[in-house]
Amino acid sequence: MMRTKPEMGGIYHIYNRGVEKRKIFLDDQDYLRFVHDLFEFNDQNPAINLAYYFGKSKSKEVGLPKIERGARKLFVRLMAFCLMPNHFHLIVQQITDDGITEFIRKLGTGYTNYFNKKYRRVGPLFQGKYKSVQIKSESHLIHLPYYIHLNPLDVAGIEWRGEKVINYKKASEFLEKYRWSSYRDYIGIRNFPSVTQREFLTKFFDGPENYRKRMIKWLKERDVGDLETVVFK
């Protein structure tokens, strides 16, 4: 959990879950709205009226509305993300003063307002303040994107955290079809390319095809238990 102010240029693993571990995404539209919010609220400019644009013309990205706008002024570099039924993971780099704090504040408030209005509920949606762990070593940076992008295997009922031998072909095929993460864009399958800033990690992992191969190799050799002590310290 983050105890100090995020450092300029620092890379952080940000995560949070629904209050009382409740689901925060109940249908595809909820996932889509959160993905769009990741894009929309990562901007120092005022947010636009999303209610007007949703249901209007679509962009080339999967299911997102087409919005004409000026140049964005990012709070953070959103390097990777994964959305799960009751929680989310982000990898972000702070590039403006208090950028992480402002981005997550806008993201949490905006999505909670949408969710509460849609489902006629009141009160907090997320379990307290978001959690944050700074990535301070190259080994942490190598393993964390794999861990985050493998989370959807839980949705498929594929056990990957233990020592059980799994069907790697089935796991890979499922991940390539799972829309609610940045994995598809990292392996060259166009999904939500404008939401993330992938240049650094793509170069770090030697390109899309190598990222795919290296992640499956990591899955085969995994020691997830040791990694989780770093990921969630």
- With H, G, I as helix, E, B as strand and everything else as coil, classify residue 164: coil
Say if residue 118 is in the same domain as residue 183: no
Residue 41, domain extent = 11-134
- Whole-number average pLDDT of the chain: 87
Q: For position 123, what pLDDT does the model report?
A: 95
Residue 3 within any structural domain of the chain: no
Straight-line distance from the first to the last Cα atom of the chain, in angstroms, rounded to the nearest whole number: 7
Is 103 in the same domain as 175? no
Residues 106 and 178 in one domain: no
pLDDT 10s digits, 84-97: 999 999 999 999 99
pLDDT band at 31 (very low <50, low <70, confident <90, very high): very high
**Is 2 within a domain?**
no
Residues 6 or more apart whose CB falls under 8 angstroms from that of 27 comprise none
Q: Point out the domain boundary residue: 89, 110, 134.
A: 134
Are residues 115 and 190 both part of a single domain? no
Residue 6 lies in a domain: no
Residue 119 CA to residue 170 CA, distance in Å, equals 35
Residues 87 and 120 in one domain: yes
Domain CATH code at residue 30? 3.30.70.1290
Q: Are residues 127 and 31 in the same domain?
A: yes
* φ/ψ of residue 24, rounded to 5: -110, -5
Sign, CA torsion 171/153/192/133: negative
Looking at the fold, whether 42 and 127 belong to one and the same domain comes out as: yes
Residues 38 and 81 in one domain: yes
User: 35-61, pLDDT tens digit by residue?
Assistant: 999 999 999 887 665 554 555 555 555
Res. 134: pLDDT tops 90: yes
pLDDT over 90, % of the chain: 68
Residue 72 CB contacts under 8 Å (≥ 6 apart), including other chains: 42, 43, 45
Mean pLDDT along residues 114-120: 97
Given a cut of 60, whether residue 171 has pLDDT beyond it is yes
Q: Answer whether residue 62 shows pLDDT above 70.
A: no
The H-assigned helical ranges of 120-190 are 138-150, 168-177, 183-186
Choosing from 108, 134, 160, the residue where a domain stops is 134
Q: What is the mean pLDDT of residues 56-70?
A: 56
Question: Given this model, what pLDDT does residue 183 score?
Answer: 97
Same domain, 128 and 145: no
Residue 4 is assigned to a structural domain of this protein: no
Count of domains observed in the chain = 2
Quote the pTM value: 0.87
Residue 46 lies in a domain: yes
Which of 107, 134, 161 marks a domain boundary? 134
